[in-house]
Amino acid sequence: MQTYFYNIYKIFSMLFIVTFLFTCSPETKNNQNEILALLAAAEISNNSKTNCPPKNLPQGIPMANTVVSANSTVSGFSDPSKAINGICGGGELSGSLDVYALNLTGAGATLVLSWGGKTVKNVSGIDFVVYENPFRVSESSDRYAFDPMVVQVSYDGINYCGFDLSGFNSSAADSNKISSWPGFAGLRPVLYNMSSNLLTLDQLFTSTGSGFLFGGGDGFNIDDLISNASCDSTALNQIKTLGFKYIKMTSASAVTNPNTGSGYVYPHSYTNGSDIDGVVAKSVE
């Protein structure tokens, strides 16, 4: 989810609360000013309470730790170290700002990470989880504010294999529903926070149903990879047998939908693409 939209969402939420207090509260003007001050203080506290990322990352969590390629020009969010410095999820209804933001198109729309020479192995079930910063738009809604991204992996850093995106639903009415974006990442809120919500590796890969994980994020199984223009059967079988060393993440808007000849379109009113918090593998060697 985009940092800009997230900030606007918070501002409008606070404005609604303030408007309600002013129109419905019998308090005096002085008391109303005190309420405004408390709201401002609460907002500052909410932004800083988790102290994430932590100074020391938790042991036993195989997080991608090396930036291979990064060219974003998004002002304030173009530091690629933010994608490897720890997972700082904001929960179901808010998104982290400790992220690396991709551009919508061009070279800056792609980030490549690795595990410092180690290989992500093909084990049972989900093999890795991608963390972005989406959030559900309300407690009772099945709609999410997100920025989908396309995920590809490679053993040699040259031939990249990806996942089946053919189930994409281009209907504007459903474009902010997770079910409209099968095969993409950046869809599900991130509950895992390496400072305030510590979880074990097993917990991160525990399913809670309907594609959701205990720690949030979007999980992928190497066995679900398919061949494409840059991935023939040889490269595909190599990855499924040996695993992969590199992961490439690209804003969906920068990837051509073969059915339309243009990028995968999603609802947004801002100028940057996916916001990457990090990637965790189940097993590396």
Write the secondary structure of 134-181 as one string of H (helix), E (strand) and C (coil).
Answer: CEECCCCCCCEECCCEEEEEECCCCCEEEECCCCCCCCHHHCCCHHHC
Over the stretch 25-59, which tens digit does the pLDDT of each residue have? 333 333 434 433 333 333 333 433 468 999 999 99
C-alpha to C-alpha distance for 57 and 266, rounded to whole angstroms = 34
Q: Above 80 in pLDDT, residue 7?
A: no
Tokens matching residue 31: 């008391």
What is the distance between the alpha carbons of residues 74 and 102, in angstroms, rounded to a whole number? 7
pLDDT tens readout for residues 191-200 = 999 999 999 9
The b-or-e profile of 26-38 (16+ CB within 10 A means b, else e) is eeeeeeeeebeee
pLDDT of 3 reads 46
More confident residue, 2 or 236: 236
Band (265; pLDDT cuts 50, 70, 90):
confident
End-to-end CA distance of the chain: 32
pLDDT reported for residue 19: 38
pLDDT bucket at 269, cuts 50 / 70 / 90: low
Instruction: Write down the pTM of the prediction.
Output: 0.84
Contact of 193 with 89, CB cutoff 8 Å? yes
Nearest Cα to Cα of residue 156 among 106, 112, 122: 112
Show me where the domains of the chain are located.
Answer: 52-281
109-146 tens-digit pLDDT? 999 999 999 999 999 999 999 999 999 988 888 899 99
Residues in the chain: 285
